Amino acid sequence: MTKHPHAATAARTAAALALALAGLAFSSPGQAGSKTLALPPDGVQLTPSLLPGYAKAKQQCVGCHSAEYMRYQPPTAARPYWEAMVKRMKAVFKAPLDDADTAELVDYLVKTYGAEQPK
């Protein structure tokens, strides 16, 4: 039986990887050192509103991105655009949004930043 010429190298690599992983598993958490992350203050705040979606946006949206993100959206964006954006945040970016909150968030966004803004 002929062995593959790289079999010994692959076996040594696998053994070294297993030893390295075992070392990580048994190291104490204190050795890694802890880091803190201080974010700069957000210079842009959500536009205040009496709409229920405002409170939800304060709780959900700006925890992941700046309120400035909303201002960069087209001011002519209609309700379907904002619905797609909220669904995208949940599906693609795993935003912790309840489906029940979607309508109120969209209502706030379209009436504050989109096509349904007061003229």
The distance in angstroms from the start CA to the end CA of the chain is 83
Give the pLDDT confidence score for residue 112 in this predicted structure: 96
pLDDT over 60 (residue 102): yes
pLDDT band at 117; cut points 50, 70, 90: very high
Q: Tens of pLDDT along 19-46?
A: 555 555 555 555 567 888 777 777 889 9
Helices 102-112 and 79-91: crossing angle in degrees, nearest 10, is 130
| Tens-place pLDDT, residues 45-74 | 999 999 999 999 999 998 888 899 999 999
Residue extents of the structural domains in the chain? 52-112
**pLDDT reading at 119 higher than 70:** yes
Q: State the Cα angle at 117 between 116 and 119, rounded to 5°.
A: 115
Question: What is the CATH code of the structural domain delimited by 52-112?
Answer: 1.10.760.10
For residue 67, what are the contacts with CB-CB under 8 A and spacing of at least 6?
Answer: 42, 44, 45, 46, 61
* Global pTM value: 0.66
